[in-house]
Amino acid sequence: MSGSAITLRAANADDAGEILALVQELAIFERAPDAVKMTQAGLAAALAARPAKLHALLAERDKAAVGCALWFESFSTWTGKAGMHMEDLFVRPAARGAGVGKMILRALARRAIEEGYARLEWKVLDWNIQAIEFYKSLGAEPQNEWTGYRLSGQALEKLAG
């Protein structure tokens, strides 16, 4: 996919269908094609909520989406400042290698600095070596001393009592 320049813009609720398609493509890439339960209406509501529950950045070429990042605000009790947690970063295969991912992350880094956030964090699957090398090339450091945990479904309900 060459030719026209890539543009970045903040997404809104009207973009929910296109963003959901990108998230579904990401799930296929991550070997979890049936994992996405989010609906277009639910995504639109999250993007439209005030205060915002979710933010999205769309990368487009000729007004067609080629990638996106979805993030939300977090908070570090150690720094005493808010941060950004990037939930998803996805670039369509045809647009990879053109610097789209770096453009997206640079835009998020700029926003983090402008908003006074202490950090930009995300997770990557341990088998996604290409992404890991890409992130390291940008100066990102793995947080290997931390192990993520999750409660969901019946386990969450059971603990809630």
Catalytic positions are 135
Residue 56, classed as helix, strand or coil, is strand
CB atoms within 10 A of CB 111: 16
Which two three-digit tokens encode residue 15? 């973009």
What is the maximal distance between C-alpha atoms in the chain?
56
Q: How far apart are CA 30 and CA 47, in angstroms?
A: 23
